[in-house]
Amino acid sequence: MLQTLTRRALMGAGIATFAALPPALAADSRPDVAIVTAQLDLAAGRVTDVTNITPGQGANFQPSFTRDGKAILFASDRSGSNNVYRHDLATGETQALTATPHNLYSPTPLPDGSGFSAIRVVDADPAYGIERKQPSLWRFGWDGQEIGPVVPVMRVGYHAWVDEHRLALFIVDDVPERNAHRAVLFDRRTAVSTTLTDKPGRSLGRTADGRRALFVDQTDPAHWRLCAQAAGDTQAQVLAETPVGPAGEKDPQRSQYFAALPDGSVIMARGTLLLRWSGKAGAGFEPLADLPQVGGVIRNIAASPDGSRLAFSVTLAAPKP
């Protein structure tokens, strides 16, 4: 998703903001965004083998692991429009899965393993870049061919599968001046939506037991909270406050991207620092590992199904003159 970019997803890594980029900011002066992988050893408290799998210029963003953990899907603008690529972790080879002039975002493996879902933008609105004429969340086969909309919901900007039938959806407002985005839990069987929050962060997920959607509630500007909720819950369960950055940090740079691990814990980042919430009630996010070698600011985070690997999109720091 979601804005009209040349190096399309920038200013927060992987279309991280909805505001348009300043016209004076030339395409070749915008920061590059890389996909970085790493090994995670929670028992030892270590993150090792940090590797940039997309060396070179361009925007590569929104990684996700295949269900077997052997490959990473991501979006990239290397073809001139945003397409979906697959990186094999064993061989180090990367191949294009799609070849469309349209823009695709947030490639995510389907729960049944038959392909992936992605945000598709053919006719973008001028304010947010989201598709404005038809549902934006589409299903694709592993051959890269479009199959059809996943849900009949308009203006889906980000998504996460909770199970085969339920998805957490970030719905982009259709009135730019209002800027009232929202997050819902949508059931494909009944077409019923359950509101999660009217002030969502851009990262969505599910709890390790697969029962609830995970999201960041930004209702209180001073206290963003990681929350979980199922369709039958009367209210969201607050899990932990998100990591707080330095004084004066602006909202687009605040931590809101996360990845849930199989043990019930959750990882977020602040700059190059990874932090982990243990999954225990009353606990907060604690430092896990600092990774200055990533060369920039960590944004989108993904974890392999077994929790042994991580992938990040990293907004790279501009080289010093």
Is the predicted pLDDT of residue 149 greater than 70, yes or no? Answer: yes
The sign of the CA dihedral 156, 157, 162, 163 is positive
Is the predicted pLDDT of residue 30 greater than 70, yes or no? Answer: no
Alpha-carbon gap, residue 213 to 203, rounded angstroms? 11
Average pLDDT in the 207-225 region?
95
According to DSSP, residue 84 is labeled: E
Could you report how far apart the first and last alpha carbons of the chain are, in Å? 32
Mean pLDDT score of the chain? 89
According to DSSP, residue 128 is labeled: T
pLDDT digits (tens, 9 = 90+) for 238-262: 999 999 877 777 776 788 999 999 9
Of the two residues 320 and 92, the one the predictor is more confident about is: 92
Alpha-carbon gap, residue 81 to 256, rounded angstroms? 26
pLDDT digits (tens, 9 = 90+) for 278-307: 999 999 999 999 999 999 999 999 999 999
Instruction: Report the SS3 class of residue 213.
Output: strand
Contacts for 47 with CB less than 8 Å, ≥ 6 apart = 38, 39, 40, 41, 274, 288, 289, 291, 310
Distance, C-alpha 314 to centroid of its chain: 12
